[in-house]
């Protein structure tokens, strides 16, 4: 007699397996194996057909009922896939439409990577949801713990995916009656209160990534509500806080420069409170309070399909183009942004700072540029470190993007140098950087084409 528990134990040890592997492991014939599969009942997951059939032992996720449905709310609501937890860890993705692939994943599926709590707001998640009993350090959360968070508190995260019915119900309630409305004429006062709240671990809006302190609201002007992310400076009472405020102004100017030089960029406004500077950026993953747009970061795409050493945005997007996952236009625009970022001293071009619009788990195009600013001048451990800018020199392979990026970078530094909302010290740095970037013009002019 062969006990079906032996089959489940073998699968728990080995993970998803094919029938011949399991027969050899258990020392049984194919007919005996087929009988064990029948007797295992609901404890067994069977996927695929014929020789591609694989088996896995189901497992439980604490306080989460499986299977877990993932919804795409970009165009109304549609079911994207079901997640089946399998032993010893990970999940099987069962597609419910054509915009996601079936398969086993050792952790949460890659297209949910961007929903993990991260950055300034993400670190507040354990304190905002103590009922979940999750560790204080979100970087230590397992995939199962992230899933628990998503199904309870994941109704208003980046992009258009909502995990689980409970989170979907909360999303629908928020879409019907948004609670985070701030009238345009009241922003300065309201944003001051919200900044104090979020710093005290109070209401923080959605969990958008990034280390800059921020919160999420919807700005209301007339009858229109526009979802925005609001970054804010410390009280401007020290050179270090003044520098953070300078960089928020520079980021706002960068949005303007990029748009005027033909690049897709976020739209922003500056709001000046009694002692803080606020940068209000319209969310391009939202279409009003009730609709959302799918978004996938380069970090998520690279981890699943490329596995690069994260050397540069363009090396990763080049690989994604070769795989047919990203278009050539998106790769070219990425190269332009990468060169521009080097010329404006953006030292924070990590793979979470470039994203793509998506339908389900399919890329549809490059999203607008964001978090593009002279981060090399941000205070380090409370001190100003003002290094001279050494503009990277272009090569012949950069000819199609270098001229435009160079012109835009000179434009940006000139605007920062002339803007009286920027401190005198940083205007001086910007003026020096105009000269530094202008000095490589002879190299740019020698490029072919």
Residue numbers annotated as active site: 348
Q: Which residues contact 352 (CB under 8 A, 6 or more apart)?
A: 114, 118, 209, 210, 297, 298, 299
Q: Which residues contact 407 (CB under 8 A, 6 or more apart)?
A: 261
β-bridge pairing 214-221 and 224-232: antiparallel
**Which of 121, 282, 134, 277 is CA-nearest to residue 198?**
121
Q: Which helix (H) or strand (E) holds 160?
A: none
Sign of CA dihedral 57, 62, 67, 70: negative
Q: Fill in the DSSP letter of residue 302.
A: I
Q: Which residue bears the tokens 């029938």? A: 19
Q: Which residues contact 105 (CB under 8 A, 6 or more apart)?
A: 90, 91, 92, 93
Q: Helix (H) and strand (E) counts for the chain?
A: 15, 17
Q: Which residues contact 288 (CB under 8 A, 6 or more apart)?
A: 224, 225, 226, 227
Long-range contact set of residues 24-28: C-beta below 8 Å, sequence gap at least 24: 26/2, 28/2
> HSE (CB half, 13 Å, CA atoms) of 368?
21
- Cα separation, 276 vs 270, in Å, equals 11
- Distance between start and end Cα atoms, the chain: 77
- Cα separation, 137 vs 416, in Å, equals 38
């Amino acid at each position: 007699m062969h006990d079906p528990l032996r089959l489940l134990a073998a699968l728990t040890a080995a993970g998803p397996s094919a029938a011949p592997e399991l027969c050899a492991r258990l020392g049984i014939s194919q007919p005996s194996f087929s009988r064990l599969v029948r007797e295992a009942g609901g404890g067994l997951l069977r996927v695929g057909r014929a020789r591609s059939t694989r088996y896995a032992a189901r497992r439980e996720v604490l306080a989460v009922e499986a299977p877990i449905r993932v919804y795409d709310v970009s165009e109304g609501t549609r079911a994207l896939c079901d997640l089946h937890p399998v032993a010893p860890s990970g999940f099987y993705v069962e597609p419910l439409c054509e915009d996601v692939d079936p398969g086993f994943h050792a952790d949460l599926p890659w297209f949910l990577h961007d929903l993990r709590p991260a950055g300034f707001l993400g670190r507040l998640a354990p304190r905002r949801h103590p009922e979940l009993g999750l560790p204080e350090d979100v970087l230590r959360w397992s995939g199962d713990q992230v899933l628990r968070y998503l199904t309870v508190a994941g109704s208003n995260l980046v992009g258009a995916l909502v995990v689980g019915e409970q989170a979907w119900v909360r999303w629908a309630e928020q879409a019907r009656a948004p609670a985070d409305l701030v009238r345009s004429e009241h922003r300065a006062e309201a944003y001051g209160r919200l900044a104090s709240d979020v710093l005290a671990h109070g209401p923080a809006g959605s969990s958008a990534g990034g280390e800059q302190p921020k919160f999420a609201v919807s700005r209301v002007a007339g009858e229109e509500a526009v979802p925005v992310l609001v970054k804010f400076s410390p009280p401007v009472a020290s050179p270090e806080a003044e520098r953070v405020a300078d960089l928020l102004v520079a980021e706002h100017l960068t949005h303007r420069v990029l748009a005027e030089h033909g690049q897709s960029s976020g739209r922003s406004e500056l709001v000046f409170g009694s002692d803080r500077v606020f940068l209000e950026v319209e969310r391009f993953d939202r279409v009003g309070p009730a609709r959302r747009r799918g978004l996938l970061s380069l970090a998520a795409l690279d981890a699943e399909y490329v596995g690069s050493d994260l050397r540069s945005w363009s090396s990763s997007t080049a690989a994604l183009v070769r795989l047919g996952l990203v278009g050539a236009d998106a790769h070219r625009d990425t190269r332009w942004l990468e060169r521009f970022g080097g010329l404006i001293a953006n030292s924070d071009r990590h793979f979470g700072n470039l994203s793509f619009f998506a339908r389900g788990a399919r890329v549809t195009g490059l999203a607008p540029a964001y978090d593009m600013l002279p981060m090399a001048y941000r205070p380090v451990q409370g001190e100003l470190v003002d290094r001279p800018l050494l503009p990277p020199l272009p090569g012949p392979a950069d000819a199609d993007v270098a001229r435009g990026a160079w012109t835009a970078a000179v434009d940006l530094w000139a605007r920062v140098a002339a803007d009286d909302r920027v401190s005198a010290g940083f205007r001086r740095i910007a003026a020096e950087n105009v000269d530094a970037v202008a000095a490589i013009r002879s190299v740019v002019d020698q490029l072919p084409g």
